[in-house]
Amino acid sequence: MSTTSTLPKVADPKASIAEERKAPSFPIRELTYWIDGDERTTKLKERIMLELERDPLWRVSDHPNLTLAETRERAMSKVRRLADLATSRPLEETMLRMSIISVVDPGFWTRFGVHFGLFFGALQGQATPSQLAYWMDKGAMSMQGITGCFGMTELGHGSNVAGLETTATFDESADEFVVHSPTLTATKWWIGGAAHTASHCAVYAQLIVKGKCYGTKTFVVQLRDTSTFQLMPGVNIGDLGKKMGRDQIDNGWIRFTHVRIPRSHMLMKHTKVTRTGEVIEPALAQLAYGALIQGRVSMVSDSANVAKRALTIATRYASVRRQFSDGTPGALETKLIDYPIHQHRLLPLMAQTFAMIFTAREVNANYQRLMGVLSELGNDAKGAAVDEAIKDLKETHATSAGLKAFCTWMCLNIIDQCRQSLGGHGYSAYTGLAQAYSDFAVHCTWEGDNTILTLQCGRYLVATALEARKGQPLPANLAYLKAALSKNGSVSTNACNGSTPEQVSSLDTLKAAWSSVAANAIINAVRDFEAGLAKGLNKDNAYEHSSASRLHAARMHTYTYLLHRFAAQVEQSPKALRPVLTLLAQLFGAHSAVQHSGEFLQSGFYSGSQVEALKTFVNHACIEVRKDAVPLTDAFGYTDYVINSPLGRYDGDVYEKYFELVTGLNPTKPIPYFDSLIKPLLERTNEVETGPELEIDQE
């Protein structure tokens, strides 16, 4: 008896992805406009992407093969090119260009942003008008004469800015500050741009006047002679070398040994030191923290943008990669995207990404509005308007802290899950996601360690709940607490009445469900805090006592905030987009609820059977979103140049382009260590010295 087998039928990857675009349920271009803000912004983005793609200096496909030195040199060439462009083009265009570059070349984005975002941002946020004019005249804005860095973190201190050890002591006789690193741990560490690039540094140091410490303030210290680039007296700098990612930025360490600077080099928009050593502190010291929020807000947007790229690569590849078949002779293998488990692997991440996109839009708008209000008020303003602004500032500070933490965690997970979904190819440096993970991981620790920021958010939630119990009004995004609060600390139960998958997963029901869970988590954190006080702990230690429940409360609140912001954007969206966006919002809320089902059962909002109905809806939603998976990634609007992965090509020609890239960057050459290592290994003899024979006794 003989058996015959049929060779497997091989599908055309281009045809496979073309199938995915035949019948989208929504107008793709209209969704692109909605994501970007409007048609004009989309067209400007496309123009910028084309300019970058056609500029040889912005070649990115060979990044994996560059050495550390080559990587840094190319980044500096880009700095030179972009410095003039950034100051000659409209601010809106520059910001959009930088948001694209943050995806194309995140390491360069950091190197460029150290000067324009951090150093110049410190001047804008903390210098007086005359000081800002002075530094701009010196070339700080245009990087002509000055290149800056941002000296906050130290070898021994990061998140605890109040604990920094660098000192700036006022010498009244000379009208100067003496900047000094008194200990090894006071060495400024992780300072981007310090190793090679920066001539000046915005140094965070403890202000000491007449023997009294007034806390951490900001001082501009010259590091290098701008003509010779030799280090200034008393300044020592070193290179931190190779990092996990973002090697384009020359991170370094800085030590100061009694470095003298003029009194005017302390940035005095808020706290001032007079010629006679009088320290004048602002009535509204909190206003100084407004500028620090900007980095956190921008990372919510960056998380969304990077996640869009990762999902585009993974989704397009899943639509052309085929694996296994149903056994029918001659049948095509099945697309990865058609396997339910792969849908569950990627499509909830798609929903998370849309939640971040729309939340970032609203948070950015709120931040810009708040900064405008604070700018108009000034340091010495008084009255109800000031009280309201301070309340908004505290809320924005806490919300941005929670969002920065959970959105960067979310994005890092999205990158890695997408990378793993590529199978073995995900391990290649040429497919785009291995380096993306290494480059993005720093988001979870810079601009505030995520766990610390989450605890800050949790502390605000506890404090706000306690104030609300005393009759203080709740901010809009915590309005859900009103129904939950009572003087005895109990939580009012709000249960779901529906039983079918459709009923338990409606957007209104999910918003109510998450509000209930978040309220329950916050009240539990309040109880833990009050239990700490009852044990005799002081306020700060009582907050530490409740740290685990504070972190959990921040997590639940942030998920609730993301869902509510997503739902608000759905309501405002064009009619043609509303069905698909509603489904994505439901998938985000329902899948996240299933992942945290214990919380919903504990709060009493869902029963066990309702959670099962929710799981059924998630299965259904994945099947429905799968139909639009590729069109949704198309709507992100990234060109192949920005995607920079052969597996994420728009035309689906993944194998040809992957092979071309790998072989092109790694041409066959003689093995450099064949004669020195491989040949001696293969030709070594087996001769060994022999010792005396052993005599074996025999019975």
Show which residues are catalytic.
447
Q: How far is it, in rounded angstroms, from Cα 203 to Cα 580? A: 49
Q: How far is it, in rounded angstroms, from Cα 448 to Cα 450? A: 6
Work out whether strand 148-151 and strand 200-209 pair parallel, antiparallel, or are unpaired. Answer: parallel
| Longest distance between any two alpha carbons in the chain, whole Å | 108
Tokens of 415: 């990158």
Backbone angles phi, psi at 555, to 5 degrees: -60, -50
Backbone angles phi, psi at 273, to 5 degrees: -125, 120
Sign of the alpha-carbon dihedral angle for 434, 440, 446, 448: negative
* Consecutive H or E run containing 617: helix 608-627
Amino acid at 349: L
384 burial (CB, 10 Å; 0-12 / 13-18 / 19+) is exposed
151 three-state secondary structure: strand
Tokens of 395: 């809320």
DSSP string, 625-680: HHHTHHHHHHHT---HHHH--GGG-TT--HHHHHHHHHHHHS-----TTIIIIIHH
> Do the Cβ atoms of 78 and 51 come closer than 8 Å?
no
Tokens of 488: 């005895």
Q: How far is it, in rounded angstroms, from Cα 406 to Cα 408? A: 6
User: What are the start-end ranges of the H helices in 471-628?
Assistant: 501-504, 507-534, 539-545, 547-572, 578-595, 597-603, 608-627
Q: How far is it, in rounded angstroms, from Cα 423 to Cα 427? A: 8
User: What are the start-end ranges of the H helices in 20-117?
Assistant: 28-36, 39-54, 68-88, 91-104, 106-113
> Do the Cβ atoms of 551 and 454 come closer than 8 Å?
yes
199 three-state secondary structure: coil
471 three-state secondary structure: coil
How many C-beta neighbours within 10 Å does residue 392 have? 16
Q: How far is it, in rounded angstroms, from Cα 283 to Cα 480? A: 33
User: Of 349, 336, 429, 438, which Cα lies nearest the Cα of 645?
Assistant: 429
Q: How far is it, in rounded angstroms, from Cα 113 to Cα 476? A: 33
DSSP string, 277-325: --EE--S-GGGGGGGGHHHHHHHHHHHHHHHHHHHHHHHHHHHH-B---
Q: How far is it, in rounded angstroms, from Cα 584 to Cα 577? A: 11
